[in-house]
Amino acid sequence: MKFVFALLLTVAVSLAVQAQMRLVNFDHLRHLTERISMENDSVDIVHVYANYPTYDWVSAQESGPEGIACVDDAARAAVVYLRHYELTKSPESLFRAKSLLKFITRMETPDGSFYNFIREDHSINKEGTTSFASFGWWAARGVWSMAAGARVLEGVDSAFAAELRQRIVLTFPHIDSLMKSYNQFQTIGGYRVPRWLLYESGADVTSELLLGLIDYYAATKDARAKQYIERLSDGLRAMQNGAVAKYPYAVHRSWRTTWHMWGNGQTQALASAGILLHNKAMLESAEREAIGFYSRLLILGYRKEMDVADRSKTLTYEQIAYGVRPMSVGLLRLYVATNKQLYLKMAALSASWFFGNNAAREAIYDSATGRCFDGIRDSATVNKNSGAESTIEALHTLVELDLYPELRKYLFYKKIRREESRRWLAGLFRGGDEELTLAIDFATGGLHLFEGKASSDFWHNLHR
């Protein structure tokens, strides 16, 4: 049975609509991509960095000489191409996804671990601190991409889909090791921390592994995978605290007591799992974060990270595309689950960060080139380098939003006002002559979205 995402294919995404939108542009991702020979086959890799102003390839050096390309970015790109193929039937996206997946399969070890980087001579970096064979961040992304391939390629290339399923099964002993700690907790900073997630509390990285297991289960109906999904989802929900009007506002913590915006895909994963398994608790957890915390990010502005146990430990910058995608796509999944227009419009407002609704008031994504800048360093400085991660995360967001052409106008709204009263916390967004208000009601614990006259009336009566 196909995953519920396939239901979205009933949405008319005609060539005319795609031409009109012209937001998704793979040119820069193609520039970052190189075809190489690996184990007597041709595979695609994605170069890690490309720096302003020439955007020539740059190798990774952050933790020593890491390499030129990695599973992290190849997996991201494969997921995006697979989704684009699923929605548009683009032959090029199918070809590129398969070429990237070939690289990823060659980076998996026989025991289901993954190496991450390759060097300039295309040999595998087996010793680097961000590359050694392990089951962590790059493995989670590898599983996600292979599972998406196993689901989408069934019926297109059934032999390759079967190989991908077999390679995912190799990772199950690692997940079984996590399950040995199921329902065990420790207390850190006054918060309960589940021990059966990756890195003993990594809800962020576990959310990416979970997205892979969701695709795998959708393709196979494997009971073992279903149990993994349920138990890992229990762990993500255990990392959630607060309510709409109670700190920390139903946020899903990322690791221990820390929340960071980048890669915090718990709402996306829980909403996706909730849809697939018809699980009310998962969906409710995702909704609570959307109503209580995502609303605050939209109204008050994005931030990089915070420690929920120590409010003084909060950073606003650097802000990156990898923080926007989980939020925007998570909201889209909530719309699919609930049919609430609120989440659809919030998803577009979230993605408006790419088009100038941000602290720097500068467009971060350029649809003419397909480049996404590497982030906002502070309110006056944009990092104009454009590496793989930012470019792919932007494309991931926009491929999903392209399903809803009616949302395009909201991508260009800007927040022009925010205000708090005894009852309300509200933000006013404007695009041309139209306006929208997002408002948290402390009295009822509700979240409201007002447009047009209703928005004007809200502000007129705010302090009455």
Cβ atoms of 412 and 356 within 8 Å: the answer is: yes
Cα–Cα distance between 253 and 266 in angstroms, integer?
Answer: 9
Domain 4-412 belongs in CATH node 1.50.10.10? yes
What is the per-residue pLDDT for 62? Answer: 57
**Residue 79 burial class via C-beta count within 10 angstroms: exposed 0-12, middle 13-18, buried 19 and up:** buried
Angle between helix axes 280-289 and 223-238 (nearest 10 degrees) is 40
Prediction pTM value: 0.94
What is the per-residue pLDDT for 120? Answer: 92
What is the per-residue pLDDT for 65? Answer: 74
Going by DSSP bridges, is the β-strand pair 49-51/56-58 parallel, antiparallel, or unpaired? antiparallel
What is the per-residue pLDDT for 10? Answer: 33
Nearest residue to 216 via CA among 285, 266, 167: 167
Helix segments in 257-320, DSSP class H: 266-277, 280-289, 295-300
| Per-residue pLDDT tens digits of the chain, which is 464 residues long | 444 434 333 333 333 333 444 799 999 999 999 999 999 999 999 999 999 999 999 887 654 578 999 999 999 999 999 999 999 999 999 999 999 999 999 999 999 999 999 999 999 999 999 999 999 999 999 999 999 999 999 999 999 999 999 999 999 999 999 999 999 999 999 999 999 999 999 999 999 999 999 999 999 999 999 999 999 999 999 999 999 999 999 999 999 999 999 999 999 999 999 999 999 999 999 999 999 999 999 999 999 999 999 999 999 999 999 999 999 999 999 999 999 999 999 999 999 999 999 999 999 999 999 999 999 999 999 999 999 999 999 999 999 999 999 999 999 999 999 999 999 999 999 999 999 999 999 999 999 999 999 999 999 999 77
Peptide bond into 53 cis (omega under 30): yes
Going by DSSP bridges, is the β-strand pair 258-260/185-188 parallel, antiparallel, or unpaired? unpaired
What is the per-residue pLDDT for 464? Answer: 74
What is the per-residue pLDDT for 59? Answer: 81
